[in-house]
Amino acid sequence: MSNQSQPGKKAKNDRLLFLLGLCRKASAVSSGEELCEAAVKSGKAFLVLVSVDASANTNKKFHDKCAFYHVPIQTAPYGKERLGKAMGTSPRSCMAITNEGLANLINEALKTCIEEVENIG
């Protein structure tokens, strides 16, 4: 029965990765530190995602920028490699979602992932 719970968990996590790929196809994401920072500063970012394995400097930089510009920021439950792969690019430690509707869907998918982790623990 534990095998049955794994596919459900994977499917919910895959939703987040699917949404990130959709953002790329819709040109609704700025990925990489420079483009992400520019999106935040210009007011185009509705959500910033930072990889779970981003450096302390990158984390601090984007948390500070997002606080200053009033942009929501979340830590993705994936590393740089997996985020980059979902986007069809090289590893990415951060990305800014520039479509409000997609940002809201990603926030919901992230909440689901967090709730699953809390229920396991």
CA separation (Å) from 111 to 31, 38, 58, 68? 22, 26, 23, 24
Beta strand spans in 23-117 (E): 29-31, 47-50, 73-75, 94-97
DSSP at 72: -
For the chain, give every domain's residue range: 2-120
CA separation (Å) from 87 to 1, 51, 69? 33, 13, 25
Instruction: Kindly report the CATH class assigned to 2-120.
Output: alpha beta
Q: Does residue 27 register a pLDDT over 50?
A: yes
**pLDDT (0 to 100) of residue 116:** 60
**pLDDT (0 to 100) of residue 121:** 53
Q: Does residue 112 register a pLDDT over 60?
A: yes
Give tens-digit pLDDT for 52-75.
Answer: 999 999 999 999 999 999 999 999
